[in-house]
């Protein structure tokens, strides 16, 4: 027969300190997310409130603001985030501007064409099937089958649609898109001129040697069209500089492009002063928050009371929560300030000039060792955050730890100064980079060149 027994056992468990947990959570938030987190805490915790005066870091004095609820909070938010008023003004202007959409632009032009009701229905269907680049991806045979109209009707309407603005619209392939654009440019080009002859050569290349053009096989184009390389090179430059594979790029779509571009707000601002640099952490500072005097008085009143009443526990919980939040926010700012101070000492030349070539090799682990913290702290503090330099340029914190940018900048500079008729090979680029003090392998040079979207030497060669 089994008997029930009580048994005591000691078990060691690890529990994360609430202060450490909240500090890590605030540390990994950027300035906008941290502002929102503080706003939420102000709404949820009645013991936490905004200070009545804001300390100005510029003149060392106090600036009063109206302690009138929302007006006070708005004023503090604008001072905590100097980019807020600028963004609001931009948004107010953007709200009165209607973005031009490709569908509306084409529909307005269709009203000027003599189309029958059947052709109008086909044209509306064709416009509705254009992709974001303005190309027609669905076969016209399928369109004719869906609309139950003859194929000749679809081809006739498509030909009229391709005469509309922007040039190259409703093309069924990249080749057709580029040819339509040249056909649009030729009537406006004076005949028997150099520009007209270049456009004619470009038209022949796209019409007869499109595969060779895409593959940069210029020598085959010369042999096939019986043209000198200088003429072919000028026509290729005309295609790459005057034509576009995305005819609808300047138009917006409701589902793919927002009405306004996002404004990047720096989390840390570095100011240049007469004696050095000054660090400013954007957003609410710990000094902007305090425990409500009324709640603090109630908390001290119940400090020695041992009665576990609901009201007493309510006061203790919110006051301790507010005190913890302010302390964690102070720790977060302290860590950000320490990281920025160490970056200023190590990357002074880059911060002074903003030029990438002055960046020094640095990893997050090395920075963590200098600060005496765990590498994860540096990763959280710099993830998805931006810094504004004294020259007003805004860069992500990742730029301080990406030494490959220096090598890429040097690589681009070497290629920009090379002879177009005899471009450097990857081996020659490796030798030149090593002579400049960059110990890189050839495969690394190839990787960086491809990341910079630079063609290999045989495709960079020019003949004019």
Written as one string, the DSSP assignment of 306-345 is ----HHHHHHHHHHHHHHHHHHHHHHHHHHHHHHHHHHHH
Q: Is the pLDDT of residue 322 over 80?
A: yes
- CA 453 to chain centroid, in Å, comes to 18
CA-to-CA distance for 464 and 461, rounded, in angstroms?
Answer: 10
pLDDT for position 246: 86
Least confident segment among 232-236, 251-255, 261-265, 359-363:
251-255
Radius of gyration of the chain (CA): 33
pLDDT for position 257: 42
Contact yes or no for 121/147 (Cβ under 8 A): yes
Q: Is the pLDDT of residue 69 over 60?
A: no
The DSSP line for 182-202 is HHHHGGGSPTTSHHHHHHHHH
CA-to-CA distance for 449 and 433, rounded, in angstroms?
Answer: 12
Alpha helices in 226-374 (DSSP H): 229-242, 293-301, 310-346, 348-353, 364-371
**Residues 276-291: pLDDT tens digits?**
899 999 888 888 888 8
Of 195, 234, 240, 238, give the one whose Cα is nearest residue 214: 240
Q: Is the pLDDT of residue 26 over 50?
A: yes
The DSSP line for 6-25 is ------------HHHHHHHH
Least confident segment among 89-103, 215-229, 427-441:
89-103
What are the domain boundaries of the chain? 17-87+264-398, 100-171, 174-246, 404-460
Of 238, 108, 99, 245, give the one whose Cα is nearest residue 164: 108
Share of the chain above pLDDT 70, in %: 83
Q: How far are the Cα atoms of 65, 266, 308, 386, 452 from residue 349, in angstroms, in the given order?
A: 39, 20, 60, 18, 24
Contact yes or no for 37/29 (Cβ under 8 A): yes
CA-to-CA distance for 399 and 395, rounded, in angstroms?
Answer: 7
- Give buried/exposed letters for 390-412 (b at 16+ CB in 10 A, else e): beeeebbbeebbebbbbbbbbbe
**Mean pLDDT across the chain:** 80
Residues recorded for the chain: 464
CA-to-CA distance for 331 and 373, rounded, in angstroms?
Answer: 13
Q: Is the pLDDT of residue 109 over 60?
A: yes
Contact yes or no for 195/189 (Cβ under 8 A): yes
Phi, psi of 361 (to 5 degrees): -60, 130
**Residues 381-419: pLDDT tens digits?**
898 899 999 988 889 998 898 888 888 888 988 998 888
pLDDT for position 318: 85
- CA 449 to chain centroid, in Å, comes to 22
Q: Is the pLDDT of residue 68 over 70?
A: no
CA-to-CA distance for 385 and 335, rounded, in angstroms?
Answer: 14
Contact yes or no for 187/203 (Cβ under 8 A): no
The answer to whether domain 100-171 and domain 404-460 are alike in fold is yes
pLDDT for position 61: 36
Token readout for 206 is 């796209």
Of 20, 16, 11, give the one whose Cα is nearest residue 377: 20
Side-chain half-sphere CA neighbours of 325 within 13 A: 26
CATH (residue range 404-460): 1.10.10
CA-to-CA distance for 23 and 211, rounded, in angstroms?
Answer: 58
CATH (residue range 100-171): 1.10.10.1330
Greatest mean pLDDT among 60-64, 78-82, 132-136, 205-209 lies in 205-209
Supply angle C-alpha 92, 94, 100, rounded to 5.
155
Least confident segment among 182-196, 228-242, 335-349, 375-389:
182-196
178: which residues sit within 8 A by CB, 6+ positions away? 168, 206, 239, 243, 245
Least confident segment among 137-146, 257-266, 390-399:
257-266
Of 90, 65, 87, 92, give the one whose Cα is nearest residue 76: 65
pLDDT for position 342: 92
- CA 45 to chain centroid, in Å, comes to 35
Per-residue confidence band for 336, with pLDDT thresholds at 50, 70 and 90 = very high
């Amino acid at each position: 027969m089994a008997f029930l027994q009580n048994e005591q056992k000691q078990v060691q468990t690890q529990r994360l300190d609430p202060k450490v947990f909240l500090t890590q959570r605030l540390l990994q938030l950027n300035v906008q997310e941290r502002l929102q987190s503080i706003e939420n805490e102000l709404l949820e915790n009645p013991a936490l409130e905004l200070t009545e005066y804001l300390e100005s870091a510029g003149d060392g004095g106090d600036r009063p603001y109206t302690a009138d609820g929302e007006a006070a909070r708005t004023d503090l938010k604008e001072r905590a985030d100097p980019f807020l008023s600028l963004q609001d003004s931009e948004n107010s202007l953007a709200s009165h501007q209607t973005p031009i959409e490709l569908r509306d632009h084409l529909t307005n032009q269709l009203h000027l064409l003599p189309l029958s009701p059947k052709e109008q229905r086909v044209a509306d269907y064709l416009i509705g099937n254009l992709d974001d680049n303005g190309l027609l991806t669905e076969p016209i045979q399928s369109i004719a089958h869906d609309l139950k109209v003859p194929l000749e009707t679809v081809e006739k309407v498509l030909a009229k649609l391709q005469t509309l603005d922007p040039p190259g619209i409703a093309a069924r392939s990249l080749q057709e898109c580029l040819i339509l654009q040249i056909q649009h440019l030729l009537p406006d080009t004076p005949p028997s001129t150099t520009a007209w002859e270049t456009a004619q050569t470009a038209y022949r290349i796209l019409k007869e040697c499109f595969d060779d053009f895409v593959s940069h096989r210029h020598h085959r184009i010369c042999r096939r069209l019986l043209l000198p390389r200088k003429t072919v090179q000028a026509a290729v430059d005309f295609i790459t500089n005057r034509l576009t594979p995305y005819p609808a790029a300047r138009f917006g779509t409701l589902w793919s492009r927002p009405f306004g571009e996002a404004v990047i707000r720096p989390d840390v601002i570095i100011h240049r002063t007469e004696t050095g640099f000054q660090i400013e952490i954007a957003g609410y500072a710990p000094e902007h928050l305090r425990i409500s005097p009324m709640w603090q008085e109630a908390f001290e009143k119940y400090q020695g009371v041992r009665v576990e009443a609901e009201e007493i526990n309510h006061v203790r919980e919110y006051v301790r929560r507010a005190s913890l939040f302010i302390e964690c926010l102070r720790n977060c700012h302290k860590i950000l300030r320490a990281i920025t101070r160490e970056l200023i000492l190590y990357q002074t030349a880059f911060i002074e000039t903003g030029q990438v070539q002055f960046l020094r090799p640095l990893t997050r682990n090395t920075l963590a060792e200098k600060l005496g913290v765990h590498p994860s702290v540096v990763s959280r503090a710099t993830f998805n955050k931006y810094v504004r330099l004294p020259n007003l340029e805004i860069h992500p914190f990742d730029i301080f730890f990406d030494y490959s940018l220096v090598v890429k900048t040097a690589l681009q500079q070497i290629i920009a100064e090379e002879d177009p008729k005899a471009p450097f090979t990857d081996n020659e680029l490796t030798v030149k980079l090593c002579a400049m003090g960059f110990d890189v392998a050839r495969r690394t040079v190839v990787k960086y060149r491809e990341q910079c979207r630079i063609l290999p030497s045989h495709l960079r060669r020019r003949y004019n």
